[in-house]
Structures are given as structure tokens and as C-alpha cells.
Structure 1
Amino acid sequence: MTVTVIHSVELFDGHKARSGAVVVFDSDSGKITSVSTGSSSDQYPQGATIIDGTGHTLLPGLIESHMHCYNLHLTPGSDESTILTSPLKSGITTVCDMHSDLASVQKWRKAIAEEVAQARQAGGTVTLSDLKTSLYGATIEGGWPKPIVLAGHPSEEAIEMVKQWPSLTPETAADYVKNHKANGANYIKLMQENCCSLAIPTNSIPVASLELQTAVVNAAHENGLPCVGHALSSDMTEIVLKAGADGLTHTFVDQPLPQNILDLYKKTGAFVIPTLTVLASLTAELQDWRERFADLAHKKGVVDDATKQNMVEVLGMKDPAAKLEYAIDTVAKLKKEGIDIVAGTDAVAGLKGTGVGPSLWMELELYTEKCGFTVTEALNSATAVTAKRFGFTDRGEVAEGKRADLVLVKGNVTERLQNLWEGEGIVGVWKEGLKAS
């Protein structure tokens, strides 16, 4: 058993901060064996690797709750391994895919499992974040996200992929969910979009009905799976909430928060993944933010040249009335009303304005700088609250018995969030107790 002890560290355990903590974990079980304060060195396990955490903060591995693991937006010859290596370098030990094909998911999960097994056997390191997934979302014939995936000059691969998407009806919802669960889906995703927030004519694509979405949600819950839903407008959000979904995978940009939507959030207890990062790309706002985080990530070796360039470009495909301000104000008001905010970006390799990994840094800073979050509230949205709302009971906290998914950062992150990416930033990442390279 290879035991590691990190002592004298500022600890954010997923909920709150405490000073002078001692965290012990081992790479064989991949678990945290103890969390305490003030232990003396003569109490440390014999033969353990000892790390002095003075002047550092230890966090749970961050969870990116909205990304996509497919490679269809990448240019030919691009390094697709960055889809899971960049987030791990960013302190993200778990990514949540929100609409990808089974083959891509299986490929990544095989690579993840083989890497962990080899690292345990040979005492090596890991490079890939863990992967959770919805597999394909609950699509309908011709519906969302066909317009975005086939925008511009789609590849033959993208065209063929769209042909494989589900074409659900209320009658087929139960089988869809059952098959997804059998294939390893961790949650189910709805698609509810009429394009009214986009530079695409409203109702120019088929729109899912409340009857269908309710059938999918009920089937998901009957199978013990959370169910979340895409919506970029308030009217589509209303349908997802009325269907009984556990959360929204975006907030909306078409108007300020209406009272009926706030009431539905409070009535249903649903959470929201704001994805302000991708919404800023959609509305072509916050260019200085994109440039700053792209430059930071590139200088730290987190992203390559192509990803840096992609991060500073924009989707720029909003309806003229849509504003990022509406989304920011909605998140601030929902948070103030006690609605759970779960951190996620909708980053996709090759999707303009995003970079899987460092986009979450930008997302968290938007919460603290624009939405009224404290630093610990922002960190909580990417750790314990995400794990709780998705039912990931083994991670998201630094506590005895949890996965040893840990991030060590120079400086006090709970006092200054930017320490996570500025200066020395992240100096160590462990996934299941295994050091990341």
C-alpha cells in the first residue's frame, strides 16, 4: 500500500474551510483514510510519502458538470486526448458528458480503466479525468441539437452521427432509458429547444412536447437515474421544470427571470447548471475574459495552440434580444433564493469560446465576480453540491472513505479564488489516490 500524507494544509472539504488539516490517503484503495487536524509526525503511517502543505490549499477534485466528450468539432489531426487530459491538468477529476455516442464513451472509459490499472500495478501516474455520461440525449426527429452540430460545413462523420440519434416518442421513452442505463448512463438528458434565443428562426425545428419530457423523466426516476434538461429560453425552461426534471443544464438568455420560473424552481427543488461561459460565447460578450483564461491556460501547458485559439473565438449566434446579463442576473437571483447552482460550462473540444478544463476556471470566477457568490460557495458548486445533486456519493468531498480525488494549490484558494489558476496555481492533482502527471 502506497500511503500519502498531506499535513499543515488549508483544507476546503467541499463545504467549508479549515486550517492545519492532515489528510491521509492510499493509492491501492484510492480512498481517503483519515482527515484530521494537528496530528504529529510520529502518528503518520510508516513508509508514507509526506507532503508539507504549509502555504497551500487542498480541495476535492473539481467536477465539470456539463461538457461533451466527442471529437467531432476538432480539426483533422488534432490531439483528441486533450478532451480528458486538459481537465485533469485544470484540477477537474470528473467530467460529466451531456450528449455523446456510446462508442466515444466506451473508448474513453476503457482508456481510463486501463490507465488506472497500469498506474496501480507499476506505480505510475494518470493523465485522464474520470467520465460520467448521459450518452445520447432524449432527442426527437430533426430536433435539437441538430442545428448546432450540423452548422457551417459539417463533416460526413457528424452527418452520420446525427442519423444515429434517438427519435423518441412517449411510447418509446421507457425503453430508451432502460437501454441507456444498461449501457452505463449515469443520468438522462432532455433536449428542449425552440431556438427563440438563437439566430435561428423560432420553431424552425421540431420541439419536444411536455408529454414526451414527462415520460422520459418518469422513466429515468423509475430506473434510479437523475434527469436534467437543456433549455436556452424561459418558455422551454418551464416545460423542463413542469416535466419534473432534477435540473437544467443551462440558464436562459432571452429575458429576465420571470416569477413563474422562480416559483417552479422553488416548487420542484431543481438545480441549474448556468454554463455562463458558453452563453458568453453565444452572445459574443466578455471577450477580454476569454482571452485572459486562454492565455493563462496556454502558458501553464494546460491547452495547446489550437485550443487557445478556439477559446478566444465566439459562437456569436444569439437572437438580437438575447443578453448574457439576463443569465447572470437569473443565476444571482436563483442562488439568493436557495436554488442549487452546479458549476458547468458546456465546453466541447473545438466548440468556439470554450476549452474543456480551463473554461471551468472562468465559470467559477463569473460566479464570484458577477453573481454574488463567495469563494467557498463557488467551490462548493464544483464539488460537494454537484456530487450530491447527481448522486455521486463517492466524491466531491474530502472526507474519510471518499475517493482520493484531490487538488493541491499554492496559496489560500478559499480567500482568493484566482490562486487556483494564477501564480504557481495547481501544484498537485490525485485521482483515486494516483498522482496525475
Structure 2
Amino acid sequence: MSSTVIHSVVLFDGHTTHPNATVVFDTKSGKITSVSTSSSDAQHPSGATVIDGKDHTLLPGLIESHMHCHGLHLPPGGSMNDILRSPLKSGVTTVCDMHSDLGSVDTHRKSIANELAEARKSGGTVTLSDLKSSLLGATIEGGWPKPIVLSGHPTEDVIEMVKKWPNLTPDTAAEYVRSHKASGANYIKLMQENCCSLAMPTNSVPVASLELQSAVVKAAHEHGLPCVGHALSVDMTEVILNAGADGLTHTFVDQPPPQSIIDLYKKTGAFVIPTLTVLASLTGELQDWRDRFADIAQKKGIVDDFAKQNMTELLGMKDPAAKLEYAFQTINKLKKEGIDVVAGTDAVAGLKGTGIGPSLWMELELYVEKCGLSATEALSSATAVPAKRFGFSDRGEVVEGKRADLVLVKGDATKRLQSLWEGEGIVGVWKEGFRAG
């Protein structure tokens, strides 16, 4: 058994900060075997690797709750190799894919399993984040995101792939959910888009009905799966909430938050994944933020030249009335009303303005600087809160018996969130007890 002990560390367990803690974990079980909030009463297993955590913070592995693991936005011949490597280097031990084909998901999952098997055999390191997925979202004929994926000059492979996406009706909703669960979906993703926040005519694409979305949510819940939904405007958000979804995978940018939407969130208990990073790229704002995090990510060896350049570019496809400030106002109000904020960016390999992994750092800083969250609330939004809301009961907290998905940071990240990426930043990442290499 290969045990690791981290002592005298500031521990953020997903909820609470403990100033002088000791955490023990091992690779045999892949779990945390002991947590002590007083280093003096902790026992060190014989032969363990012992790390002095003084002047460091230990966190649960971060969870990126909105990304995509496909390669549709990569240039011809572009590699998918870094899709799960860059997040692990950024302290993200779990990524939640929100619309990808089964082939892409299975390819990643096989790589993850093979890597862990080799690490257990040889005692080596790991390089890939864990992957959760909705598989393909509940798309309709001609509906979102088919038009945007097929815009420009798509390759024949992309055209053929989109042809295989679902064309759901209320009558086929139950079978769609059943087959997705059988194929390993961890949750279900709705698509609700009328383009009113985008540089496209409103209702220029077919829009899913409340009847359909309600049928999908009902089927998902009958199969024990959470159900979340895409919406970028107030009216589309209202449809997702009225359908009974567990959460929104974006907030809206078309108008300031009306009280009716705040009340509907409170009534339904739904959570929100703000994705401020991609919304800033959509509206063409915060260029200095994109430049700063792209530069940090490259200097730390997380992204290559292509990925860095991609992080600095922008989508710039908003409706003239759309503003990022509306998103800040909404998250601020929802947070004050006790609505769960779950951290996610909508990062995709090759999607302008995003980088899988380092974009989550930018997202978390925006929560603190623009939306009124404290550093610990921001950290909870990327650890314990998503684990609870998605039903990932084995992770998201530093608790005995949970997965040994851990991040060690130089400095006190509970007081200064920027410790995650500034200076030495992250000095150690473990997934199931194995150190990231």
C-alpha cells in the first residue's frame, strides 16, 4: 500500500476551513483514509510519503461542471490529446461533459481506465481528469446547437456526425433517456434556444416545446438521473425551470434579472452554472482577463501556443442588447437568495475564448470579483456543491472514505483565491491517490 500524509496544512474540506489539518490517503483504495483537524493527534502510516503542508492549502479536486470533450471545434487534424490533460494540470480532477457523442466519451473513458490500471500496476502517475457526461443532449430536428455547428464550412465528418444527433419528440423522450442511461450517461442535458441573445434572428431555429422538455425531465428523474438545461435568455430559462429541470447550464445575458425568474429559481430549487467565461467571449467583453489567464496557463505549461491563442480570441456573436453585466447581476441576486452556484465555463477545445482547465480559474475569480461570492463560496461551487447537486457522492469533499482527489496549493486559497494560479500556485494534484504527472 502506498500512503501519503499531508500535515500542518490549511484544509478546505469543501465546506469549512481548518487551519491545521492532516490528511492521509492511499493508492490501494484510492480513498482518503484519515482526516484530522489537529496535526498533533494524527498517526503517520509506516512507510508513507510525508508532505509538510505548512503555508499551503489542501482542497478537494476541482469539478468543472460544464465543458465538452469532443473535438468539433479543433482545426482539421487537431489533436484531442490535451482535452483531459490540461484540466488535471489546473487542479480539475473531474470534468462534466454537457453534449458529446458516445464515441468521443468512450474513447476518453477507455484512456482514463487504462491509465489508472497502469498506475496501479506500476505505481506511476496519472495525466487525465475523470469524465462525467450527458452524452448527446436532447436535441430536436434543426434545433440548437445543430445550426451553429453546421455554420461556416463544416467537414463531411461533422455533417455526418450531426445527422446522428437526436430529433426528439415528446413520444420519444422516454426511450432517449433509457438508452442514454444504458450507454453510461451521468445526467441528461436539455437544449432550449431561440437565439434572442445571439447575433441571429430570434426564433430563426426550431425551439423545443415545454411539453418535450417536461417529458425529458420526467423520464430522467424516473431513471434517477439529474437533468439540466441550456438557455441564454430569460424566456428560455423560464421554460427550463417550468419543465422541472434540476439546473441551468448557463445564465442569461439578454436583460437584467426579473424578480419573476429569481422567484422561480427559489420555487423550483434549481441551481445555476453561470459559464461567465464563455459569455464574456460571446459578448466580446473582458479581453484583459482572457489575455491574463492565457498567459498564466502557457507559462505554467498547461496550454500550447494554439490553445493560448484560442483562449485570447472571442466568439463575439451577441445580440446588440446582450450584456455580461446582466449575468453578474443575476448570479449576485441568486447567491443572495441561497440558490446554489455551480462552477462551469462551457470550455471546449478550439472554442474561442476558452481553455479547458485554466478557464475555471477565470470563472472562479469572476464569481468573487463580480458576483459577490467569497473565496470559500467560490471554492465550494467547484467542489462540494456540484458533487451534491449531480449526485457524485464519492468526491467533492475531503472526508474519510471519499476519493483521494486532492489539490495542494502554495498559500492560503481560502483567503486569497488567486493563490490557485499566481506564484507557485498548484504544487500537487492527486486523482484516486495517484499523483498527477
Q: TM-score range by the shorter chain?
A: over 0.9
Give the conservation status (yes or no) of the 8 Å contact 1:284–1:314. Answer: yes
Q: In the aligned structure 2, how far is the partner of 1:430 from the partner of 1:147?
A: 40
Residue of structure 1 in register with 2:336 after alignment: 336
- SS, match of residue 388 in structure 2: helix
- Tell me how far apart the structure 2 counterparts of residues 33 and 215 of structure 1 sit (CA, whole Å): 43
What secondary structure, in the 3-state scheme, does the structure 2 residue paired with 1:407 have? Answer: strand
Q: 1:231 to 1:325 in 2, by over 3 A?
A: same
- Match runs of 1:26-105 below 5 Å: 26-40=26-40, 43-105=43-105
Question: In 2, Cα distance between the equivalents of 1:416 and 1:39?
Answer: 23
78-87 vs 218-227, greater mean Cα deviation: 78-87
Using the TM superposition, give the Cα deviation of residue 372 of structure 1 relative to its aligned residue in structure 2, in angstroms: 0.5
Aligned counterparts of 1:177 and 1:38: Cα–Cα separation in 2: 47
Q: Given residue 260 of structure 2, which amino acid in structure 1 is its aligned partner? A: N
**Cα pair distance change 1:374/1:41, threshold 3 Å:** closer
- Residue of structure 1 in register with 2:170 after alignment: 170
Structure 1's 210 and 119: CA in aligned 2 closer, same or farther, altered over 3 A? same
Secondary structure of residue in 1 paired with 2:84 = helix
Instruction: Confirm whether residue 148 of structure 1 aligns to residue 148 of structure 2.
Output: yes
For residues 213-232 of structure 1, the aligned pairs below 5 Å read: 213-232=213-232
1:112 and 2:112 aligned: yes
8 A Cα contact 1:72 1:157, kept in partner = no
The answer for the alignment partner of 1:283 in structure 2 is 283
Paired with 2:189 and 2:39, the residues of 1 have a C-alpha distance of 45
Distance of 2:222 and 2:40 partners within structure 1? 50
Q: TM-score, normalised to structure 1's length?
A: 0.99
Q: Deviation string for 1:236-274 (max 9, x for gaps)?
A: 000000000000000000001111111110000000000
Number of aligned residue pairs: give it. 437
CA 1:42–1:287: 2 relative to 1, 3 Å: closer
Partner amino acid, structure 1, of 2:419: N
Report the equivalent of 1:311.
311
2:15 is matched with which residue?
15
Change over 3 Å in CA distance of 1:41–1:374 after alignment to 2: closer
C-alpha separation in 2, matches of 1:390 and 1:69: 18
Does the CA contact (< 8 Å) of 2:8 and 2:39 recur in 1?
no
Task: Give the 3-state SS of the residue equivalent to 2:57 in structure 1.
Answer: strand
* Offset, 1:41: 8.8
Q: Tell me what 1:208 maps to.
A: 208
- Quickly say closer, same or farther: Cα 1:406–1:149, change in 2 above 3 A: same
Partner of 1:188: 188
Counterpart Cα distance in 2 of 1:131 and 1:61:
13
Give the match's secondary structure for 2:428. strand
Deviates more, 1:265-274 or 1:147-156: 147-156
Conserved 8 A contact 2:22-2:42: no
CA offsets per residue over residues 188-224 of structure 1, 9 Å max, x none? 0000000000001110110000000000000000000
Corresponding residue for residue 133 of structure 1: 133
Instruction: For 1:434 and 1:381, locate their aligned partners in 2 and report how far apart those are by CA, in whole Å.
Output: 24
Partner-residue secondary structure (3-state), 1:22? strand
SS class of match (1:140): coil
CA contact (8 A) 1:406 1:430 kept: yes
Structure 2 distance, partners of 1:79, 1:216, is 34
Match of residue 425 from structure 1:
425
Deviation (angstroms), 1:77: 3.6
Q: Which amino acid aligns with 1:82?
A: D
Deviation digits for residues 346-391 of structure 1 (CA, Å, limit 9, x no counterpart): 0000000000000000000000000011000000000000000000
Q: What value does the CA root-mean-square deviation take over the aligned residues?
A: 0.9
* Runs of 5+ consecutive residues of structure 1 not aligned to the other structure: none
Tell me the TM-score normalised to structure 2 length. Answer: 0.99
- Matched residue SS, 1:172: helix
How much has 1:147 moved relative to structure 2?
Answer: 2.4
Instruction: Give secondary structure in 1 for the equivalent of 2:115.
Output: helix
| 1:125-161 per-position Cα deviation (integer Å, ceiling 9, x unaligned) | 0000000000000000000001221232222222111
Secondary structure class of the residue paired with 2:83: helix
Q: Give the distance between the partners of 1:43 and 1:429, measured in 2 at CA.
A: 22
Could you report, residue by residue, the CA deviation over 1:284-340 in whole angstroms, capped at 9, with x for unpaired residues?
000000000000000000111000000000000000000001011101100011000
Contact 1:257–1:330 (CA<8 Å) still a contact in 2? yes
Q: Contact (CA 8 Å) 2:20, 2:39: kept in 1 or not? A: no
Alpha-carbon offset, residue 40 of structure 1: 4.2
Question: Separation in 2 of the partners of 1:196 and 1:37?
Answer: 51
The residue aligned with 1:364 is: 364
8 A contact 1:133–1:186 mirrored in 2: yes
What is the match of residue 238 of structure 1?
Answer: 238
CA distance in 2, matches of 1:226, 1:42: 38
**Structure 1 stretch displaced more, 360-369 or 152-161:** 152-161
